[in-house]
Every structure is written in structure tokens, then in C-alpha cells.
Structure 1
Amino acid sequence: MEEEAGVSVDPDHLRLVHVVHHKQSDTIDRIGFFFLATDWVGEPVNREPDKCLALEWHTVHDLPEDIIEYPKEGLLGYLEGDGALTEHGWE
């Protein structure tokens, strides 16, 4: 969190809320772990502008069209309560 968003989070204030198993291509797959932070220190900022276009706040009903698919699936999987795991991109 500190490296990418400039905030510090005590592990006691993190809760694992969803996992996404994402098939990116025939040779690359990823597992994303999504945590809910209930408290943090600092103001979120984009500390990796060469890797991340922007750090913005959106409501779940107004997500940007260019959101990356597998983080979107993790967010929606948690918010919609569809279970602890989403498989994305697999046939």
C-alpha cells in the first residue's frame, strides 16, 4: 500500500474479502487477493504514474469504462457477495 498508494495499513485493519483467478493469456494467469482496509494512515496518491494512469474514487454504479477487468471482477465479486472466488477469462 505504501509503495503504490502512499498509505500505511496495520495488518489488523485488513480483511481478505475476495480472490480472483484470472487467465490473462495462454501462458499467463494470475491470482488477485482483494482486501478491505478499515483504517489507514495517509492520503492515497498515485505513487507509480508510469504504471498507473490515475487513482480515482468512483461509486460502484459509475465505474470507468476502461477499468481493468480482473480488478473489476474482484470488486464486484465482493460487493455482490457471489462467494469468495471468481474465475475470470477461463473457458
Structure 2
Amino acid sequence: MGGNGVCIDPDHLELARAIDCRASGEGPRFGTFYRAHFWGGEPYNAEPDKCSGLFWFSFSDIPDKTVPNHAAALQHIAAGRISSKYGW
């Protein structure tokens, strides 16, 4: 279990999404999502008590258990939209 995870040179990141979101019972949040063009290492679930798993999937097959605002952001990324609001 564990490992060194993924290493990404900041020069290989591209802003993919900014989302202004609010969930019931929580304060507002602002999230940013980046697209990594190159990386090294292997991803692993460093917080198994908070995260049920780590998977590769296509934009057309986002798992049902994905955090709702993250799923919405991924759908917007797939559609080429840079920013939006969720839950307002």
C-alpha cells in the first residue's frame, strides 16, 4: 500500500476547469481542475478512509459514486467549458 504517487512538472499542467460550488450544509467552495499532459509515477489512494477508490474512466462513463460537483466539472471539461457554478 502507498507509494510515491504522481509527480507532475507544473509546466505540463493546463487549467481545465474552475467551478464555484455549494453543497447543502456546507459553505461555498471554489475548485480548480488541471489537465496534466505528462507525468511520472503511479497514482494511489492515499486516503482510503475518505475515498472508495481510484479509477481511470472516460468522460462518457463517469462513475455514479463520483462526488457530484466533481462529476459536474468533468462533464463541463468534456464539453470544453472552462467555468461554471454548481449548487447555487
TM-score by structure 1 length? 0.84
Q: What SS class does the counterpart of residue 64 from structure 1 fall into?
A: coil
1:11-44 CA-to-partner distances (Å, cap 9, x unmatched) read 0001111111101135511111010001111011
- Structure 2 gaps of 5+ residues are none
Q: How much is the aligned-residue C-alpha RMSD, in angstroms? A: 1.6
- Paired residue type of 1:89: G
Q: Percent identical across equivalent pairs?
A: 36
- Paired residue type of 1:72: A
Question: For residues 51-90 of structure 1, what are the structure 2 equivalents within 5 Å?
Answer: 51-82=50-81, 84-90=82-88
- Paired residue type of 1:30: R
- Structure 1 gaps of 5+ residues are none
Structure 1 partner of 2:23: 24
Poorly superposed stretches of 4+, deviation over 4 Å:
none
Instruction: Provide the rounded CA distance (Å) in 1 between the counterparts of 2:22 and 2:41.
Output: 34
The number of residues matched between the two structures is: 85
Q: What SS class does the counterpart of residue 74 from structure 1 fall into?
A: helix
Instruction: Provide the rounded CA distance (Å) in 2 between the counterparts of 1:26 and 1:85.
Output: 23
- Paired residue type of 2:36: A
Does the 8 Å contact 1:73/1:86 carry over to 2?
no
Instruction: Provide the rounded CA distance (Å) in 2 between the counterparts of 1:72 and 1:89.
Output: 13
